Amino acid sequence: MKQDEIIEMANKASKEWLKELPSPEETANPIPKRFLEIFAKLVAAKEREACAKLCESYISKSPHSWGGTTMAAAIRARGQA
Comparison of pLDDT for 1 and 40, the residue scoring more: 40
In the prediction, which pLDDT does 63 show? 63
Confidence of residue 71 (pLDDT cuts 50, 70, 90): confident
In the prediction, which pLDDT does 51 show? 92
Q: In this model, does residue 11 exceed pLDDT 90?
A: no
Contact 56, 29 (CB under 8 A): no
Counted domains in the chain: 1
Domain that holds residue 73: 3-78
Total length of the chain: 81
CB-based burial label for 72 (10 Å; 0-12, 13-18, 19+): buried
Query: What single-letter amino acid sits at 78?
Result: R
User: Which pTM does this prediction carry?
Assistant: 0.66
Question: What confidence tens digit (pLDDT) does each residue in 17-66 have?
Answer: 778 877 777 777 777 788 888 998 899 999 999 999 988 887 766 666 66
